Amino acid sequence: MNPSNITPENIESLNFEASLKQLESLVSKLESNQLPLEESIAVFEQSILLTRRCNALLDNADDRLQNSISLAEGE
């Protein structure tokens, strides 16, 4: 997925690795200081969406692991 195509609607299709890769790409763009102001704002907004997606996926993975541990311990 092209970073410029990141929207709240299509971000749900990204797995953690794809989300993180896109986020890293956007951060690199921001760190380059080569973007015009409006594009920088758009990239920042996309970065927020991807950060939220990564956090949600990590929270889900943590819940699954905690459930597995509880089952293994017989709780």
Architecture of domain 14-72 in CATH? Orthogonal Bundle (1.10)
Kindly report the pTM of this predicted structure.
0.84
DSSP structural state of residue 11: G
User: How far apart, in Å, are the Cα atoms of 37 and each of 5, 11, 40, 45, 49?
Assistant: 18, 24, 5, 12, 19
7-58 confidence digits (pLDDT tens): 888 899 999 999 999 999 999 999 999 999 999 999 999 999 999 999 999 9
Closest Cα partner for 11 from 59, 57, 44?
57
